[in-house]
Amino acid sequence: MLHSNLLRLVARGGPKRWMSTTTKLTSVEVNDKTGIATLTLNRPPVNSQNVQLLVDLQSSIGEIESNKSRGLILTSACSNVFSAGLDILEMYNTDEERLRTIWTELQNAWIALYGSSLPTAAAINGHAPAGGCLLATACEYRVMLPKRLIGLNETQLGIIAPKWLMSGFLNVLPQRVAERALTQGRLFTTEEALAEGLVDEIANTKEEALEKCAAFIGSFTKVNPLARSLTKLQFRAENIKEFEKIRKKDVEDFVALASRPEVQKGMGIYLENLKKKSKK
């Protein structure tokens, strides 16, 4: 027993207290008929992105890529939230090493999704602020349920999204709209997001959103997969290259910023307000 626990710890790169649970926070289901994989984020209540969720997300993307699925649909098991972004509780009152791990795993998860050669789509069945929007915009296609919110609201929180984190957002919105939205920290309603091109379609239920995503992925049936993926990656190559150049420094910048006393204080106040709001 002890031996197998030790082996598991060694396989995971040593003991890490924020990775204490061994239950996966993502699941993968492949449709036998279509060959399309649905990757579900499952960390109730709001899929806030802690290290484990980010690591599990990468492992599920790897699994889908190696099992020769025809495409990947990202969705959420939470009823009203796609993902609430980074887990602020995990960033609050912690040490630099942990902050470093959080940001490194966010980077790793983003590049795994953004740089995937597979066709990718997001069935956004709930709110997708900040890191939630990051994951949705890393995909090639977005279908969203009505009356939810999506966007990069970092400036509203007094923080700055680095350039790589804006890449997907900038891929889908005109520069002028993106600049205004980012500087305002604007969250778009589903209907506004559709009008601006931040999402591609609206669906009334999660099932319908999954079907629409599957139809998007199905639209590549007659396209040579290698030609398709190389074309996709050519479009993304510049952003990926820029990201690779700064990724180490970006981790250190994040650690320095997130550990500043005033930023930690801001996180504490933000968390308190979130909790107050959820009790109402």
Ligand X SMILES: CCCCCCCCCCCCC/C=C/C(=O)SCCNC(=O)CCNC(=O)[C@H](O)C(C)(C)COP(=O)(O)OP(=O)(O)OC[C@H]1O[C@@H](n2cnc3c(N)ncnc32)[C@H](O)[C@@H]1OP(=O)(O)O
Q: Order of strands across the sheet with 71-76?
A: 26-30, 36-41, 71-76, 120-124, 141-144, 201-202
Q: How far apart are the first and last CA of the chain?
A: 45
Pairwise CA distance, residues 216 & 119, whole Å: 9
Residue 157 in tokens:
């929180």
Candidates 79-87, 107-115, 206-214, 223-231; binding stretch for ligand X (CB under 6 A): 79-87
**DSSP character string of 78-98:** SSSBS---B-HHHHTT--HHH
242 belongs to the catalytic site: no
Judged by CB under 6 A, the stretch of 22-30, 83-91, 110-118, 228-236 that binds ligand X is: 83-91
Selecting among 90, 105, 140, 154, the annotated active-site residue is 154
Among 19, 46, 173, 181, binds ligand X (CB under 6 A): 46
Integer Cα distance of 130 and 152 in angstroms: 4
| 154 lies in the site for ligand X, by CB under 6 A | yes
Q: Which of 25, 74, 86, 198 is catalytic?
A: 86
Say whether 14 is catalytic: no
* DSSP tag of 199: S
Residue 75 · residue 82 · CB < 8 Å: yes
Q: Which of residues 194-233 bind ligand X (CB under 6 A)?
A: none
Cα(53)–Cα(102) distance, rounded to whole angstroms? 10
Is residue 256 at the binding interface for ligand X, with CB under 6 A as the rule?
A: no
- Binding residue (CB under 6 A) for ligand X from 113, 159, 173, 251: 159
- Is position 118 annotated as part of the catalytic site? no
- Interacting residue with ligand X among 39, 181, 213, 258 (CB under 6 A): 258
The values of phi and psi at residue 195, to 5°, are: -60, -35
Binder among 77, 157, 170, 215 for ligand X (CB under 6 A): 157
Pick from 37, 53, 86, 136 the residue near ligand X by CB under 6 A: 86
Based on the residue annotation, tell me whether 86 is a catalytic residue of this protein: yes
Q: Which residues are known to be catalytic?
A: 86, 131, 153-154
Query: Applying CB under 6 A, which residues contact ligand X?
Result: 45-46, 48, 80-81, 84-89, 91, 127, 129-131, 153-154, 157, 159-161, 165, 254, 257-258, 263, 266-267, 270, 274-275, 277-278
